Structure 1
Amino acid sequence: MSSVTKRPAFLSRALRALVIGAALSSPACALAQTQAPAQKPRPAAPQVSAIKPQPPAAAKVGEDVVAHVGGTDITAGQLRAYVEALGAREQAAIAKEPGLLNQAVRQMLSERVVLQEALAKKWDQEPKVAAQLERLRERAVVELYLQSVSVPPTGYPGEEEMQKAYDANRSAFVVPRQFQLGHIFVQAPKDADRATEDKAKKTLEEIQRKLKSGADFAAVARTESEGKDGGELGWLSEGQIRPEIRQRAMGLAKGGVSEPIQLDDGWHIVKLLDTKPSYTRPLAEAREQLAQQMRAERASMLRRAYVAELVKRNPPVVNEIALSNLLDGVRK
């Protein structure tokens, strides 16, 4: 059954400029941005205040206030920093759909309310909590530092490297055949009672009567189908369609309508509106995806090499007897 996804409301132009600027200026999001060579270790990352909570900083004079919660203002600068701290995927999504910033603002406000409550109760000063926060801070420092020393070289991948990678993995860029389908659904689970089954069959008979008399498929879907949205499913790849329906759709001519298909949730009727043949995405179209993947793989390789070199220079020593005693104590 098709569904309608509501697009979040767009924000003001100022907020759009804010989030797009933050996403594009962030090193984690801009793949081609200039970075220091990964072979030169950088200084350790500073302590992360978000791991060990501190009272929210007061807004600077003259900064635009984007939101307000619990006596605290959220400024444009604070929101920009919040967006820059998100992962590259989240930043890219916000840059593509600025309306998602509304959700980011609300998430930030919720976190601020909880943080204010926790700090007011001095919860972060509880011994167990403080110890856990310290461990989290240490892990965050390690992670951020490793990220800083495993950035691929500037300009990687080059055109020649990208072409070789594309040629070696051309099958990964194959787009399967796609179908644009109209859909009518009559709910009738196989374990439904007799009354529900009889009602569904009557509805199905009425739908078939209307379709065979030349009624518009979308109009029938709006009035008779459970979806009530005109039955438009949009473009779907072969793997997104249930096998039983895909088999029927592949046997239809463009504009053809299938006979009712009974599945475990009810009856389905599909109309083949259009098809797109399978094709291989050209390098020009796959460039951004391929570059991101290659940079991620190079970063992972640099990270492993850096850690291996550190361990080589500082060989770890494990007291096996003490470790065995510890494990014995845990088992008891």
Structure 2
Amino acid sequence: MENGESVIEATEVWRRYAGGFAAVRGVSFSVARGELFALLGTNGAGKTSTVELLEGLARPAEGSVRVLGRDPFRERSLVRPRTGVMLQEGGFPSELTVTETIRMWAGCTSGARPAAEALEMVGLGPRRDVRVKQLSGGERRRLDLALAVLGRPEVLFLDEPTTGLDAEGRRETWALVRSLRDSGTTVLLTTHYLEEAEELADRLTILHEGRTAASGRVADVVARYPSRLSFRLPEGFFLGDLPPLAPLGVLGHETAGRLVRLRTDDLQRTATGLLVWARDTGVELEGLDARSASLEEAFLAIAATRTPAEPPADRTAAPGEMAAPGAPAGGRA
């Protein structure tokens, strides 16, 4: 991160669709210049609806969004040339070659990189003369990314950038995204791959049911959730035979036959206490597995929560909103 200047700001943002359904409910966050920020969400959490507001495709029903200090909807002509957008799925003329597609897009982009440079960045140089219809799904995602970075954007929105890529392609894309961030580009990333967010993000926000469920540095968000330790007790031993668990930092437990699962806020203390007990007792803890808290566990814990349903507001979609027939299905939440 270069400094504390916020280049993306969402303040108490609401987004409603026809019928009063609120896909986004008072969400706030900011992204500093040069930061890589992940916006995550459970199914239907309002993630894509929020990103569309930041991209200037609609304006919020309430609250405000700013990108590079401007309203991306009202001042779209000033914001759009300074941003790059990679959508979940791009639409390309199938008969054009990869190079022709890049050149066509470059004709509509201020200060575009040379086509060859953009293709080499995403590893499509050897496929430059191939028609788009002959590209694999992963190669099309690479082409999407090439178009997103073509104009040397100050702010880059990446919506599920590695969907369809194999493991090698995903790692190469991560390296490219890091290099863009390191060169000063501010990146807002959405992804269903929690490993990707954990690997790349400086900070993140997790949305759930249209609201902010967690926000902060990845390590800080993960630290709010317990570590886990599991093992099988030998025949003839039971949970009550273990040393007192609370002094070992254990917050809770589950058992299934001889299998014991513990949740702890101090994994080292818990593991040490159990291993010392096992040594002194002369027993083997079969299948011993100790795991620190992870972003996946934090995400799953959030996904399992439910909030009371709210009555729909008596209002229509805000100006600039798509009226979504049969909402909520109409909005890409």
Give the shorter-chain TM-score range. under 0.3
* Greater relative contact order, per chain length (Cα 8 Å cut-off, separation 6+): 2
Structure index of larger Rg: 1
Greater helix share, structure number: 1
